[in-house]
Homo-oligomer: A and B are copies of this chain.
Amino acid sequence: MHVMIIGAAGMIGRKLAERIAETGCIGGQIVCELTLVDVVEPDVAGGFDGMRKVLAADLSKPGVAARLVANRPDVIVHLAAVVSGEAEADLEKGYRINLDGTRALLEAIRSIEKYVPRVIYASSLAVFGAPFPSKIPDDYHLTPLTSYGTQKAIGELMLNDYSRRGLLDGVGIRFPTICIRPGVPNKAASGFFSGILREPLNGKEAVLPVDETVRHWFASPRSAVGYIEHAATMDTASLGAQRNMTMPGVSATVAEQIDALRLTAGDAAVALIRRAPDPDITSIVAGWPQDFDTARALKMGFRAEKSFREIIEVYLEDEMGTPAPSDGAPPQAPQHLRDAQDVTP
């Protein structure tokens, strides 16, 4: 099986490539060829035994999409996108990358005869817009309130149309907010959801700009990769004409995030969270969804964590090298935090 990841330099793309390199498989199928594409040349996935190609290419440029799909990958994972803030600041760039880029990919696939690849499309909760019901169902109307959400909703509609016409076999994945994101703090409005856990787990101070009552929808990077692995080989027949689904996740308040941190890493870690209310971020986050009914995705076999504690444990295992204990007990926080906790009365 030949897998192509477009947007392979991003966090999820990189982790997916590493996972394929490590297992040699995707969704139970052997991967003999892996093509990694991004606007900058993505990292090679070390340790992969099959054929591997790394390409720097911009999908929205003329001819690029056709070149990419010319050797007919079986699974195309389309993660390439301009993110929310940038799509709002730069209308032209957002529509060019998120709409034209996606359409160019679908059209390039269409132009090849008898070629119907599985296309996994990274969509977003941003296709929905406030006001929301307490739990947002899969069939809630598309009312994006950002250009990014608009472009993602348009991509969903095209994915449905091209799939319905038998031109490709699409699965659209609406990712929860991924938490805990590894790496350094970023400027994204959602950055604090990861920051208030990641920074304390690494012994650093983190800023909390919103109230602890704020509720949102989360899954780990490991789950994000898991959605794609499942989507790569799932039976799509029962999806019918509606190819896009909100992925399962954990609905949690900031207070619940902090409680989970306390259970895992103790009060010393929690003490590293500094409250610094930010009206701008508070106002942005107030428009975000809080909870979803993902019965459809669950029925289709997609899985995620069941609690925020699990999400933190995934971070400890995958990013801090703390192995899961064999007795099924949760992994422990890093030594420096346990040391700090030991001296706390």
Q: Which residues of A contact B (CB under 8 A)?
A: 91, 110, 129, 139-145, 147, 150, 153-154, 157-158, 160-161, 164-165, 241-242
Closest to A129 in B: B241
State whether A161 and B144 are in contact (beta carbons under 8 Å apart), knowing that A129-B241, A154-B154, A241-B129 are contacts in the complex: yes
- Alpha-carbon gap, A242 to B140, bound state (A): 14
- The listed residue (B110, B147, B242) touching A165 by CB distance below 8 A is B147
Tell whether, in the assembled complex, residue B139 and residue A157 are in contact, meaning their CB atoms are under 8 Å apart: no
Given A139-B141, A141-B142, A241-B129, also A157-B147 (CB < 8 A): no
Instruction: Tell me which residues across on chain B come within 8 A of A154, comparing CB atoms.
Output: 154, 157-158
Could you pull out 18 A-B pairs where Cβ atoms are within 8 angstroms?
A91-B165, A129-B241, A139-B143, A140-B141, A141-B141, A142-B142, A142-B153, A142-B157, A143-B160, A143-B241, A143-B242, A144-B160, A144-B161, A145-B164, A147-B161, A147-B165, A153-B157, A154-B157
Let me know if A241 and B145 touch, CB within 8 A: yes
Contacts of A157 in B (CB 8 A): 142, 144, 150, 153-154, 157
Chain B CB count within 10 A is highest, among A141, A157, A160, for A157
Tell me the complex Cα distance, A120–B29, Å. Answer: 50
A150 x B143 contact (CB < 8 A): no
Residues of B within 8 A of A145 (CB): 164, 241
Q: Which residues of the partner chain B approach A144 to less than 8 Å between Cβ atoms? A: 157, 160-161
Distance in angstroms between the alpha carbons of A91 and B109 in the assembled complex: 14
Indicate if the CB atoms of B139 and A150 lie closer than 8 Å. no
Shortest Cβ distance from A141 into chain B, in angstroms?
A: 5
A91: B residues at CB distance < 8 A = 110, 165
Query: A139–B142 Cα gap in the complex (Å)?
Result: 8
Nearest Cβ distance between residue A108 and chain B, in whole angstroms?
14
Tell me the complex Cα distance, A241–B150, Å: 12
Decide yes or no: A150 and B140 within 8 Å by CB, A129-B241, A145-B164, A165-B91 being known contacts: no
Complex-state Cα separation, A142 to B141, whole angstroms: 6
Question: How far apart sit A304 and B32, CA to CA, in the bound complex (Å)?
Answer: 61
CA distance A241 to B149 in the complex (A): 13
Chain B residues, CB < 8 A from A147 = 161, 165
Q: Within 8 Å CB of A139, what residues of B?
A: 141, 143
Contact between chains at B165 and A161 (CB < 8 Å): no
Q: Given A139-B141, A141-B142, A154-B157, output 18 extra A-B contacts at Cβ < 8 Å.
A: A91-B110, A91-B165, A139-B143, A140-B141, A142-B153, A143-B241, A143-B242, A144-B157, A144-B160, A145-B164, A147-B161, A147-B165, A150-B158, A150-B160, A153-B157, A154-B154, A154-B158, A157-B157
